């Protein structure tokens, strides 16, 4: 502990991101990155933006990008907020919308940035346990609270809720903001963005990192009615008025407009996920039903940490969480067919 720290620093439990190892011949299936490169149209737009105009500040309101997102989701640009990845958008939501007298509630097995942000922003939070099937049960959220946040599909389980259940959650909390974190929605779920015109308390957060394959560009966004978006804007403009650079805005616009690339690549990931799930099940794994670009699986005869270590010895990296109830599970990103074949071959050696 340094004597120069502010008091809050020593109380924080920082989020631990997935490892970015440097290994030869690596099969990297631990951070849910897309196995395919971004849209060529996005790459061309990024290259074009790398011009002498980089000496100029970017558009602080990212109007062109917000308009492109608005067209894609059938809302107005004023109902769209953008930031440096969905993590920054979520941080602004925690600061702007989720701190109230009653506690914030979210799943106990979920995105581990939620408790990190709750601690950073001094938000009282209560974790709601997943049920015995590792699912979110909306009935468990019928309790006093100041706000609600949950991922759909959930992470790291990959299990999604149908849109009707999300709507029931939002409708049952008319006086509380409800944030639905849809980082993985494009791999099998139905987005709650269609509910935004009906519910003033709903904010939906998405990212370009997964289904648009732009994790390295850092672009995320939120969709909600104007009062919620204005709250995010007030926080942003009190923190960083220029969050997205010129290249990021240009690349994201091109990516969201390239619908053909989007449908083709997500279709490949969904198909590979089905094959990977089957391959794991035939080898004795329990695999939770995933609507994400990863699967969550455990083997009854092998501890998760040991299995992850043995895979690493074979240059295959997956994600292990040392947390109660899920310590024997591995979160495995859906890679290319070739990468998944190497994973299965490694597992065959181990098993």
- The answer on pLDDT for 20 being more than 70 is yes
Ramachandran class of 275: left when φ > 0, alpha when ψ lies in -120 to 50, beta otherwise = alpha
- pLDDT band at 3; cut points 50, 70, 90: confident
Q: What is the pLDDT of residue 8?
A: 85
Alpha helices in the chain (DSSP H): 40-49, 63-73, 85-97, 113-120, 163-171, 226-236, 246-257, 259-282, 304-313, 337-350
- pLDDT band at 60; cut points 50, 70, 90: very high
CA dihedral 33, 35, 38, 43 (to 10 degrees): 100
* Structure-model confidence comparison of residues 297 and 20, the more confident one: 297
Give, as one character, the DSSP assignment of residue 83: E
| Structure confidence by residue, pLDDT tens digits, 291-333 | 999 999 999 999 999 999 999 999 999 999 999 899 999 999 9
7-37+260-350 fold: 3.90.1150
Q: Which residues contact 310 (CB under 8 A, 6 or more apart)?
A: 346, 350
Q: What is the pLDDT of residue 10?
A: 84
- The answer on pLDDT for 1 being more than 80 is no
| Structure confidence by residue, pLDDT tens digits, 175-220 | 999 999 999 999 999 999 999 999 999 999 999 999 999 999 999 9
Q: Are 299 and 310 in contact (CB under 8 A)?
A: no
Chain centroid to CA 236: how far? Answer: 20
Structure tokens at 129: 């346990």
Q: Out of 3.30.70.20, 3.20.20.10, 3.40.640.10, 3.20.20.70, select the CATH number for domain 40-258.
A: 3.40.640.10
- The answer on pLDDT for 118 being more than 70 is yes
Average pLDDT, the chain: 96
The CATH 3.40.640.10 domain(s) of the chain lie at 40-258
> What value, to the nearest 5°, has the Cα angle with vertex 257 and ends 237 and 181?
50
Q: Which of 108, 152, 134 is nearest to 323 (CA)?
A: 108
Q: Which of 35, 17, 33 is nearest to 210 (CA)?
A: 33
CA–CA distance, 185 with 164 (Å, rounded to integer): 15
CA–CA distance, 184 with 109 (Å, rounded to integer): 16
Structure tokens at 128: 């709601």
Q: Which of 146, 169, 167, 150 is nearest to 159 (CA)?
A: 150
- The answer on pLDDT for 22 being more than 80 is no
Q: What is the pLDDT of residue 23?
A: 74
pTM: 0.95
Q: Are 208 and 248 in contact (CB under 8 A)?
A: no
Q: What is the mean pLDDT of residues 240-268?
A: 97
Q: What is the pLDDT of residue 262?
A: 97
The CATH 3.90.1150.10 domain(s) of the chain lie at 7-37+260-350
* Structure-model confidence comparison of residues 7 and 255, the more confident one: 255
Give the percent of the chain with pLDDT over 90.
Answer: 92
Q: What is the pLDDT of residue 17?
A: 78
Phi, psi of 115 (to 5 degrees): -65, -30
């Amino acid at each position: 502990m340094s004597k120069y720290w502010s008091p809050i620093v020593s109380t924080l439990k920082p989020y631990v991101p997935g490892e970015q190892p440097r290994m030869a011949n690596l099969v990297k299936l631990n951070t849910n990155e897309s196995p395919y490169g971004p849209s060529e149209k996005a790459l061309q737009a990024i290259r074009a933006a790398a011009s002498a105009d980089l000496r100029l500040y970017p558009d602080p309101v990212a109007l062109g990008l917000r308009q492109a997102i608005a067209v894609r989701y059938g809302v107005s640009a004023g109902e769209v907020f953008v930031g440096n990845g969905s993590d920054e958008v979520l941080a602004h939501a925690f600061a702007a919308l989720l701190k109230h007298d009653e506690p914030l509630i979210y799943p106990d097995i979920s995105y581990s940035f939620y408790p990190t942000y709750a601690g950073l922003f001094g938000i009282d939070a209560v974790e709601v346990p997943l049920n015995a099937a590792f699912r979110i049960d909306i009935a468990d959220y019928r309790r006093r609270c100041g706000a609600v946040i949950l991922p759909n599909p959930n992470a790291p389980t990959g299990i999604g809720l149908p849109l009707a259940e999300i709507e029931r959650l939002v409708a049952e909390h008319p006086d509380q903001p409800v944030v639905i974190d849809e980082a993985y929605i494009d791999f099998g779920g139905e987005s709650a963005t269609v509910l935004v015109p009906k519910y003033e308390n709903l904010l939906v957060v998405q990212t370009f990192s997964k289904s648009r394959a732009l994790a390295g560009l850092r672009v995320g966004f939120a969709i909600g009615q104007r009062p919620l978006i204005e709250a995010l804007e007030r926080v942003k403009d009190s923190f960083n008025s220029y969050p997205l650079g010129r290249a990021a805005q240009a690349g994201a616009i091109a990516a969201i407009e390239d619908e053909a690339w989007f449908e083709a690549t997500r279709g490949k990931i969904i198909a590979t996920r089905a094959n990977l799930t089957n391959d794991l099940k035939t080898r004795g794994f329990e695999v939770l039903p995933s609507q994400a670009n990863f699967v969550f699986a455990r083997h009854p005869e092998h501890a998760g940490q040991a299995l992850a270590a043995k895979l690493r010895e074979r240059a295959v990296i997956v994600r292990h969480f040392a947390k109660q109830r899920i310590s024997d599970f591995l979160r495995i990103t859906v890679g290319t067919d070739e990468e998944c074949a190497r994973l299965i071959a490694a597992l065959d050696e181990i098993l």
